[in-house]
Amino acid sequence: MDISGPGDLWNPEDFPLVIAGPCSAESEEQVLRTAYQLAAIPEVKVFRAGLWKPRTRPGAFEGVGEKGLQWLEKVKAETGLKTTVEVARPEHVELALKHHVDILWLGARTVVNPFVVQELAEAMKGVPVTVMVKNPIIPDLKLWIGALERVYAAGITRLLAIHRGFHYFEKSPFRNAPMWEIPIELKRLVPELPIIVDPSHICGRRNLLQEISQKSTDLEMDGLMLEVHENPEAAFTDAAQQITPEALHVLLQKLVLRKRTGNPDFESRLEVLRTEIDKLDGELLQILAKRLEIIDEIGDYKRDNNITILQMKRWAGIITDRLSIGTNLGLDETFLRKILNLIHKESIQRQTNIFNKS
């Protein structure tokens, strides 16, 4: 994708782009008071507010809708902050553009549906607006990239992605599991695409925000979108994860911003260590290939002698033995179990293929 970068939004060298504002706009006073307090924090460049809220069940507060757009116009005129809203229907796009919203964003529930994404992209066609695309709620990188491509194909080149975590069935301290490997893979595939992290929707509660914001900048993510409310406890939506403007200021001051590259001495030492890693990875792969070759040999042997593939006693023995060796070497037990299981799964697959060939 030929993305035109952050434009006049912010200088990525200075600080991560900070977008802040309430989960939902609730009243004109709330919006303006919050915006004034945020405008006093130099790092904050964009004011967010949800006007059309995607709620899990009907009957909950569904946002103030169209009338909130006038409040956002005031925010822009009076504080100089840029503005952003979530759009979920083509009418939202039309209305937001009519009221000069600077950035539109597609929410996590919208991005799971290519039909809706396509409709929204068409409503934006040819308009020089900046668009942010949140990850879909399910951990599917292709779906996320697909949505970005649909928007891009509509001629939108000022494009950003927002990482807001993924729905996850297992117990986790987060509302939405960060699964950092997914945004990192997105960065690898589309390096020119800025990724903004939304710690509020990842954490779901205030006390984890600092840690996730720090991790975002340590992983070279390009910005932060945080939900800020003048009275978080009383917020109509997402009360547990919102913070006051003051708390946002403290959070940003506590962030340790690290350099992306070091001086020549640092770089050359790093190069030495990386060369060592490359060599070890090569050896690791050779050993793995050799192990699987022997697995194939055993497969042939078992098949020729009519013996079953899985032999539980042997497998249980391997686990106990390798866990003991591995943990003595300082390796983490969960990590060891994952690796052993993967290798075992692959071994069984290869032997199954051998059996099927006979």
What the block records as the tokens of 49 is 């507010």
Q: Of the two residues 120 and 202, which places its CB atom closer to Mn ion in the complex? A: 202
Binding region for ligand PEP (CB under 6 A) out of 87-95, 107-115, 147-155, 246-254: 107-115
At 289, the amino acid letter reads: A
Q: Of the two residues 68 and 107, which places its CB atom closer to ligand PEP in the complex? A: 107
What the block records as the tokens of 116 is 């809706």
The footprint of ligand PEP on residues 39-78 (CB under 6 A) is 50, 54
C-alpha span between 195 and 193 (Å, rounded): 6
CB of 182 to ligand PEP, least distance (A): 14
Binding region for ligand PEP (CB under 6 A) out of 6-14, 77-85, 105-113, 153-161: 105-113
Beta bridge partners of 106: 133
Question: Cβ distance 226 to 255 under 8 Å?
Answer: no
Rounded to 10°, the helix 333-357/312-328 angle is 150
Residue closest to 186 by CA, chosen among 159, 208, 155: 159
- Decide which of ligand PEP, Mn ion, none touches 150; Cβ closer than 5 to 8 Å per partner kind: none
The pairs formed by 338-345 with CB atoms below 8 angstroms and a separation of 24 or more are 343/288, 343/291, 344/315, 344/318
The DSSP secondary-structure symbol of 50 reads B
Q: Of the two residues 50 and 245, which places its CB atom closer to ligand PEP in the complex? A: 50
Among 76, 164, 175, 187, binds ligand PEP (CB under 6 A): 164
271 C-beta neighbours (distance < 10 Å), count: 10
- Decide which of Mn ion, ligand PEP, none touches 92; Cβ closer than 5 to 8 Å per partner kind: none
Q: Is residue 228 at the binding interface for ligand PEP, with CB under 6 A as the rule? A: no
Rg (CA), the chain: 25
CB of 339 to Mn ion, least distance (A): 37
State whether residue 69 is helix, strand or coil.
helix
Q: Is residue 299 at the binding interface for ligand PEP, with CB under 6 A as the rule? A: no
CB of 343 to Mn ion, least distance (A): 42
Residue 163 CA, distance from chain mean position: 3
260 C-beta neighbours (distance < 10 Å), count: 8
Q: Of the two residues 216 and 351, which places its CB atom closer to ligand PEP in the complex? A: 216
- Decide which of ligand PEP, Mn ion, none touches 179; Cβ closer than 5 to 8 Å per partner kind: none
Q: Which residue is nearest to ligand PEP (CB)?
A: 107
CB of 201 to Mn ion, least distance (A): 6
The footprint of ligand PEP on residues 168-227 (CB under 6 A) is 201
At 80, the amino acid letter reads: G
Residue 104 CA, distance from chain mean position: 18
x-or-dash string of contact with ligand PEP, 75-94, rule CB under 6 A: --------------------
Residues that bind Mn ion (CB under 5 A): 23, 238
Q: Is residue 136 at the binding interface for ligand PEP, with CB under 6 A as the rule? A: no
Q: Is residue 134 at the binding interface for ligand PEP, with CB under 6 A as the rule? A: yes
CB of 141 to ligand PEP, least distance (A): 16
Question: Cβ distance 50 to 72 under 8 Å?
Answer: no
CB of 332 to ligand PEP, least distance (A): 31
Burial of 345 (0-12, 13-18, 19+ CB in 10 A): exposed
Q: Of the two residues 121 and 235, which places its CB atom closer to Mn ion in the complex? A: 235
C-alpha span between 61 and 76 (Å, rounded): 25
Q: Is residue 107 at the binding interface for ligand PEP, with CB under 6 A as the rule? A: yes
| Site residues for ligand PEP per CB under 6 A | 23, 50, 54, 107-109, 134, 164, 201
